[in-house]
Amino acid sequence: MVADARVYEELKANILRGDYSPRQRLVEAELCEEFEASRFAVRAALQSLEADGLVERQRNRGARIREISLEEAVEITEVRMVVEGLVARRAAERVTDAQAATLREIGAAMRVAVASGDVGAYGDLNVRLHQTVREIASHAKATGIIARLHGQMIRHQFAMSRLPGRSSVSVVQHEAIIDAIAARDPDAAESAMRAHIASVIEALRTIAEADVRRG
């Protein structure tokens, strides 16, 4: 693999894993050591990560992990709401029987995870459900935008998954999405997906209020 692509992939993976704090400095020389690459490769990777909205660079001051405010997180989620609504709609238009069965399996596994309080498994299934819907929809542009926005939300995603009762609310919403897609009802699928993500926005606002209260 070419050096700059490698640095980009690895550094992005590290960022998405939450290895860095918001505003943390990313010093070129350190990255060169860490990834055993030249400054050329590191700089190219940083530029790409900046284009992804994960990193901000300021002239003569280097790169930092970009901080995503809750305000921005809400806007990102609003955009995701409508774009993922489009994806759900399209999935409902295209779903095969086999794909519908897969969705149902995921839904059943979610029920199990919620009942047993397994937040980690639930999170994985959540990711898997959304991914499956996107695969069924097969809409490259929408998928690309969702991926990009998702990367910017990683920090808030974690906070939300830890919200008490979050998974018992969302499992019902996930099931509504699955039902609508399996029923090949585009309008219902879009509505269900939007309602689900609207509740994510509410959850974000809940966190925002708690933060204000906590000072």
Partner DNA sequence: CACGACAATATTGTCGACAATCTAGTTGCT
Partner DNA sequence: AGCAACTAGATTGTCGACAATATTGTCGTG
- In whole angstroms, how close is the CB of 75 to its own copies at the nearest point? 4
Query: Contacts with DNA in 60-79 (CB under 7 A)?
Result: 60-63
Among 7, 8, 15, 48, binds its own copies (CB under 8 A): 48
Distance separating alpha carbons of residues 4 and 24, to the nearest angstrom: 21
Among 66, 130, 139, 174, binds its own copies (CB under 8 A): 139
| Minimum CB distance to its own copies smaller for 28 or for 78 | 78
What does the per-residue mask of binding to DNA show for 23-62, with x meaning CB under 7 A?
--xxxxx-------xxxxx-x-------------x-xxxx
Do 86 and 194 touch, CB atoms closer than 8 A? no
What does the per-residue mask of binding to its own copies show for 54-73, with x meaning CB under 8 A?
-----x------------x-
Q: Is 82 an interacting residue with respect to its own copies (CB under 8 A)?
A: yes
Residue 75 site contact among DNA, its own copies, none (CB < 5 to 8 Å, cut-off depends on kind) = its own copies
| Minimum CB distance to DNA smaller for 23 or for 162 | 23
Q: What is the CA radius of gyration of the chain?
A: 19
Residue 62 site contact among DNA, its own copies, none (CB < 5 to 8 Å, cut-off depends on kind) = DNA
Residue 212 site contact among DNA, its own copies, none (CB < 5 to 8 Å, cut-off depends on kind) = none
Residue 205 site contact among DNA, its own copies, none (CB < 5 to 8 Å, cut-off depends on kind) = none
DSSP code per residue over the chain: --HHHHHHHHHHHHHHTT-S-TT-EE-HHHHHHHHT--HHHHHHHHHHHHHTTSEEEETTTEEEEPP--HHHHHHHHHHHHHHHHHHHHHHHHH--HHHHHHHHHHHHHHHHHHHTT-HHHHHHHHHHHHHHHHHHHT-HHHHHHHHHHHHHTHHHHHHHHTSTTHHHHHHHHHHHHHHHHHTT-HHHHHHHHHHHHHHHHHHHHHHHHHHHHH-
Q: Which residues bind its own copies (CB under 8 A)?
A: 2, 44, 47-48, 51-52, 59, 72, 75-76, 78-79, 81-83, 85-86, 139-142, 145, 149
Q: What residue ranges bind DNA (CB under 7 A)?
A: 2-4, 25-29, 37-41, 43, 57, 59-63
